[in-house]
């Protein structure tokens, strides 16, 4: 699975994308990322996930060959 990072997540991790051998739900992926990047937990808890360019819910099952985008909330004025 390839995961692409955007905005503040990309800035904090200093990388645009990463590959993991992961299969499971979006909720499990969120927890996996929190365990790997605990400093990003507040952002990861409220970020949206898109799989193959479509937003998905927490229960969506990732099979392992998808392109996942992690999109943090955006603030504006």
Q: Is 73 exposed, middle or buried (0-12, 13-18, 19+ CB in 10 A)?
A: exposed
CATH number for the domain spanning 10: value is 3.10.20.30
Output the six-digit token pair for 63. Answer: 């099979």
pLDDT band at 24; cut points 50, 70, 90? very high
Output the six-digit token pair for 54. Answer: 């479509």
Residue 59 confidence (pLDDT) above 70: yes
pTM value > 0.85: yes
Mean of per-residue pLDDT scores for the chain? 94
d(C-alpha 24, C-alpha 29), whole Å: 7
pLDDT at 76: 55
Domain membership of residue 76 (yes or no) is no
Domain membership of residue 57 (yes or no) is yes
Domain membership of residue 14 (yes or no) is yes
Longest dimension (CA), the chain: 39
pLDDT at 75: 63
Domain count, the chain: 1
């Amino acid at each position: 699975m390839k995961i692409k990072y955007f905005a503040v997540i990309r800035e904090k991790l200093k990388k645009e994308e990463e590959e993991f051998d992961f299969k499971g739900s979006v909720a499990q992926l969120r927890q996996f990322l929190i365990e790997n990047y605990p400093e990003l937990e507040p952002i990861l808890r409220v970020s949206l996930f898109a799989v193959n360019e479509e937003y998905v819910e927490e229960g969506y099952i990732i099979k392992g060959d998808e392109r996942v985008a992690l999109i943090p909330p955006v603030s504006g004025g």
